[in-house]
């Protein structure tokens, strides 16, 4: 009997474990969807002594009655020892039981014995087959719905590629323009095909939403706060009304969910919402995805293809997780064992070496105030380029195979292997090349109005964050392929590079005003763009890293420290390029914890200053800027500001009961707890200050969810915030906080103002 095959030319859309197999969704060039299955037996490895090996095999035999598993001896390469090892591989013949079997074995053997054991099954499937999200090719499916073979017409690291015709639906709570206290039950806004529909009847919300999903059949459902609030709420309504939702295309699979978590990252507590993923279509919460926030869907697609992580998971994963997946895929393809836990401890080193090694990139302190005709030079992807050029990788630092032939790290004396290329440079090279290609295509297109310009910009932006992350990941305590000495080596090379660049610039008559790790601000009387470009070429030739002219500023401000007006701050500046574009870092207009009103006032000042081409012209604009400030402060003090523009957002570091002080964060968190909302460390709170001093009421601030217009706001505190943002820009001209207050005739009579009159 002959078997009929259906050959589909199109894209792999989704893959996930279901019913013991891998469920695969495909989309053809006409947008039609297909579902098929593929048998896959994920395996993990154990490196054990002879006694423990017998125990491991006995456990496998005992488990066969409950789990379909098999085992075999395989030879694989161990990266750090540079040796082949014979290990026991346990293959699980049910994709949904893989991690369950791993958990059983973890009860009997130590963590360092496990390899390839904690990787999600969908990623293992992609590593094993060479497939990846949105892979274009020819897929053959038999009459039983089994994927029998495929012919890829695509590469995961391709610069240019076709994408399927994906349909998108947007879901959001439409009623968010007043404080939550005033909100009626949720108003669901459904948007697709350039039309929006409001669903207000609570008893019909599920049926109506299902009708829209059935009618449009979206491939992607984009939500606002879908993971944390919207989707769980809709599912709760669905269960109470006994009407199933049509979020899943695959009615044989369940939602894929994860729990929220709090963790330390770069010295602060970060909270991550749990995920709520669909099967057969994608759910992407735009507020729970760093990649989507920075590079929208174009960047997400590019990263998912490269990392081989399913799109829904990649949307919620950290950039470091994506980078790690590229390394894991390379290791899997090259028969390298992937440790479940980091295995390499820090090398012993004397105190003298510790003092030299325990430093970051080089930072110079800038001169406070405004400066004219200053050029900014940036090393292009400095840290990842150093890793690739100098072959810096965990297994190449202080390797055991080179002895006296090694390359030496500046200052530290660490040895770098010259006999083999490390996993880090091998996996970073394609990311560097892709980003360089997209930046080049952007320059060729020149105009932001071209749709392709936006696509290339988003792709390079997503890759930029991966390149930024790769350095920190080298020193991350849990990185499987990380080592602190590799991290320290990159810093050493970066310090050496910036010092060489500074020396070359000064030999050519340029003055260094400021430098932050991979970026330099230089000045030379009557220097032209051609002079700076010539300097870039000379630095590149000597240092071996591309450096670009980011632009020449008409003026740039290095603000004074908030603690001491005579001291600068290295990471705060604002300037105006010759094309009129503003660039700002660290000031109030860039800070996420500043009220919208304060940020907008500072932006208005800077936009006025952007008309100036010199410091002299800035001084001539000062009267107009003072008018902007007086106008804004007057509006603030008269109660004409919408309280929604005064909302402050902060992250909490503790649970409500753990706060011992009476700070605003403590007050707001405890108020939320009393109202039934328990927040985890790292989650954000939104509030409006009503009495900063706490003299008139213990409620220094009101959380946004409990705020009422009659609560008003603390006019003195918000006036101070607004004037301090102006002081940041105007202090070099003698306008400190007290002088600005006198211009605005600020008095201390009225502490708080109600805003009820705004909404009569």
How far is it, in rounded angstroms, from Cα 455 to Cα 516? 29
Comparing CA positions, the residue from 120, 422, 438 lying closest to residue 303 is 438
How far is it, in rounded angstroms, from Cα 148 to Cα 169? 33
Burial of 482 (0-12, 13-18, 19+ CB in 10 A): buried
Residues 6+ apart with CB under 8 A from 242: none
Mean pLDDT of all residues in 589-613: 93
How far is it, in rounded angstroms, from Cα 185 to Cα 176? 11
Other Cβ atoms less than 10 A from the Cβ of 523: the count is 19
User: Given this model, what pLDDT does residue 178 score?
Assistant: 43
Which range, 91-105, 198-212, 343-357, 743-757, has the best average confidence (pLDDT)?
Answer: 91-105
Q: What is the pLDDT of residues 571-583, one digit of tens each?
A: 899 999 999 999 9
* DSSP secondary structure of 167-197: -EEEEEES--SS-GGG--S--EEEEETTEEE
Q: Is the pLDDT higher at 665 or at 629?
A: 629
pLDDT for residue 66 is more than 70: yes
**Range in 36-45, 274-283, 356-365 with the lowest mean pLDDT:** 356-365
CATH 3.90.1600.10 residue window(s) in the chain: 363-420+479-586
Residues 6+ apart with CB under 8 A from 745: none
Note whether 466 and 427 are within 8 A (CB): no
User: Given this model, what pLDDT does residue 177 score?
Assistant: 46
Burial of 394 (0-12, 13-18, 19+ CB in 10 A): buried
Note whether 234 and 296 are within 8 A (CB): no
* DSSP secondary structure of 21-83: EEEEEEEETTS-EEEEEE----EEEE---HHHHHHHHHHHHHHTTTS-EEEEEEEEEETTTTE
Phi, psi angle pair for 575, to nearest 5°: -150, 165
User: Given this model, what pLDDT does residue 480 score?
Assistant: 75
The DSSP secondary-structure symbol of 405 reads: G
Burial of 93 (0-12, 13-18, 19+ CB in 10 A): middle
CA distances from 511 to 51, 106, 349, 505 (A): 69, 60, 38, 7
pLDDT for residue 756 is more than 70: no
User: Given this model, what pLDDT does residue 551 score?
Assistant: 92
User: Given this model, what pLDDT does residue 404 score?
Assistant: 65
Q: For the chain, count helices (H), then strands (E).
A: 19, 32
CA distances from 485 to 100, 336, 362, 482 (A): 36, 22, 18, 9
Mean pLDDT of all residues in 367-393: 92
Instruction: Look at strands 188-192 and 256-257 and give their pairing.
Output: unpaired
- Residue 230's SS3 state is helix
Comparing CA positions, the residue from 535, 538, 493 lying closest to residue 518 is 493
- 363-420+479-586 carries CATH number 3.90.1600.10: yes
CA distances from 736 to 273, 431, 562, 724 (A): 42, 47, 11, 8
pLDDT for residue 439 is more than 60: yes
- Residue 290's SS3 state is helix
**Range in 308-317, 411-420, 722-731 with the lowest mean pLDDT:** 411-420
Q: What is the pLDDT of residues 312-371, one digit of tens each?
A: 999 999 888 898 899 999 999 999 999 987 666 666 666 666 666 677 778 888 999 999
Comparing CA positions, the residue from 588, 591, 715, 697 lying closest to residue 646 is 715
User: Given this model, what pLDDT does residue 251 score?
Assistant: 84
Mean pLDDT, the chain, rounded, equals 87
Q: What is the pLDDT of residues 128-137, one digit of tens each?
A: 999 999 999 9
The structure's pTM equals 0.84
User: Given this model, what pLDDT does residue 2 score?
Assistant: 45
Note whether 14 and 314 are within 8 A (CB): no
pLDDT for residue 5 is more than 90: no
CATH 1.10.132.60 residue window(s) in the chain: 636-759
User: Given this model, what pLDDT does residue 760 score?
Assistant: 37
**Range in 31-35, 315-319, 632-636, 651-655 with the lowest mean pLDDT:** 651-655
Q: Which fold has domain 636-759?
A: Topoisomerase I; Chain A, domain 4 (1.10.132)
How far is it, in rounded angstroms, from Cα 230 to Cα 239? 14
pLDDT for residue 755 is more than 50: no
For the chain, report the end-to-end CA distance as a whole number of angstroms.
Answer: 79
- Residue 625's SS3 state is helix
How far is it, in rounded angstroms, from Cα 199 to Cα 217? 18
Q: What is the pLDDT of residues 202-233, one digit of tens each?
A: 778 999 999 999 999 999 999 998 998 889 88
Confidence class for position 757, pLDDT limits 50, 70, 90: very low
pLDDT for residue 175 is more than 70: no
């Amino acid at each position: 009997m002959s078997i009929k095959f259906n050959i589909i030319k199109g894209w792999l859309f989704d893959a996930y474990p279901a019913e013991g197999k891998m469920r695969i969704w495909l989309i053809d060039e006409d947008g039609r969807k297909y579902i098929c299955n593929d048998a896959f037996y994920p395996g993990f490895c154990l490196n054990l002594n002879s006694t423990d090996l017998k125990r491991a095999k006995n456990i496998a035999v005992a488990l066969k009655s409950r789990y379909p598993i098999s085992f075999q001896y395989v030879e694989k390469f161990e990266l750090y020892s540079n040796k082949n090892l014979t290990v026991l591989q346990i293959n699980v013949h049910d994709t949904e039981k893989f991690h369950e079997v791993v958990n059983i074995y973890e009860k009997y053997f130590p963590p360092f014995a496990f390899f390839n054991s904690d990787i999600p099954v969908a990623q293992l499937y992609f590593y094993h087959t060479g497939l990846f999200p949105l892979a274009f090719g020819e897929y053959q499916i038999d009459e039983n719905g089994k994927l029998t073979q495929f012919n890829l017409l695509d590469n995961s690291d391709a610069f240019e590629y076709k994408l399927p015709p994906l349909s998108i639906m947007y879901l959001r709570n439409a009623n968010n323009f007043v404080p939550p206290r005033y909100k009626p039950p949720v108003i669901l806004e459904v948007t697709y095909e350039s039309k929006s529909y409001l669903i207000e009847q609570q008893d019909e919300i599920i049926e109506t939403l299902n009708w829209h999903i059935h009618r449009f059949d979206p491939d992607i459902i984009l939500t606002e706060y879908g993971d944390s609030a919207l989707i769980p709420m809709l599912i709760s309504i669905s269960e109470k009304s006994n009407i199933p939702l049509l979020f899943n295309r695959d009615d044989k699979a369940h939602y894929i969910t994860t729990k929220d978590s709090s963790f330390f990252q770069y010295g602060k507590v970060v909270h991550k919402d749990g995920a709520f993923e669909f099967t057969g279509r994608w759910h992407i919460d735009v507020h729970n995805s760093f990649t989507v926030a920075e590079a929208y869907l174009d960047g997400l697609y590019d990263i998912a293809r490269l990392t081989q992580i399913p799109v829904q998971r990649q949307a919620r994963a950290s950039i470091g997780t994506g980078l790690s997946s590229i390394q894991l895929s390379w290791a899997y393809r090259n028969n390298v064992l992937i440790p479940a836990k980091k295995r390499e401890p820090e090398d012993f080193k004397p105190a003298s070496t510790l003092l030299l090694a325990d430093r970051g990139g080089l930072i110079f302190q800038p001169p406070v105030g405004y400066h004219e005709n200053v050029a900014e030079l940036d090393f292009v992807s400095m840290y990842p380029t150093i890793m690739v050029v100098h072959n810096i990788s965990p297994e190449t630092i202080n390797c055991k195979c080179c002895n006296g032939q090694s390359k030496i790290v500046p200052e530290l004396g660490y040895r770098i292997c010259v006999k083999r290329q490390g996993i880090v440079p091998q996996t970073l090279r394609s990311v560097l090349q892709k980003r360089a290609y997209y930046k080049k295509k952007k320059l060729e297109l020149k105009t932001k109005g071209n749709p392709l310009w936006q696509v290339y910009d988003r792709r390079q932006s997503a890759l930029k964050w991966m390149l930024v992350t790769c350095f920190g990941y080298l020193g991350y305590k849990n990185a499987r392929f990380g080592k602190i000495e590799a991290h320290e080596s990159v810093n050493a090379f970066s310090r050496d590079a910036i010092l060489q660049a500074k020396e070359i610039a000064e030999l050519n008559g340029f003055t260094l005003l400021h430098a932050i790790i991979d970026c330099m601000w230089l000045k030379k009387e009557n220097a032209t763009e051609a002079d700076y470009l010539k300097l870039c070429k000379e630095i590149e030739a000597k240092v071996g890293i591309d450096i670009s002219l980011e632009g020449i500023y008409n003026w740039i401000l290095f603000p004074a420290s908030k603690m001491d007006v005579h001291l600068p701050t290295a990471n705060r500046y604002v300037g105006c390029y010759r094309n009129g574009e503003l660039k700002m870092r660290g000031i109030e207009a860039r800070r996420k914890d500043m009220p919208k009103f304060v940020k907008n006032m500072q932006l208005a000042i800077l936009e006025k200053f952007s008309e100036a081409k010199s410091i002299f012209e800035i001084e001539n604009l000062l009267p107009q800027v003072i008018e902007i400030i007086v106008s804004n402060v007057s509006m603030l003090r008269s109660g004409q500001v919408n309280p929604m523009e005064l909302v402050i957002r902060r992250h909490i570091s503790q649970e409500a009961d753990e706060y011992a002080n009476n700070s605003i964060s403590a007050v707001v968190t405890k108020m939320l707890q009393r109202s039934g909302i328990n927040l985890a460390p790292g989650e954000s709170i939104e509030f409006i200050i009503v009495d900063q001093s706490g003299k008139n009421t213990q409620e220094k601030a009101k959380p946004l969810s409990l705020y009422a217009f009659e609560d008003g706001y603390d006019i003195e505190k918000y006036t101070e915030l607004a004037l301090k943002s102006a002081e940041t820009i105007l202090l070099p001209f003698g306008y400190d906080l007290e002088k600005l207050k006198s211009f605005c005739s600020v008095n201390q009579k009225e502490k708080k103002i109600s805003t009820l009159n705004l909404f009569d």
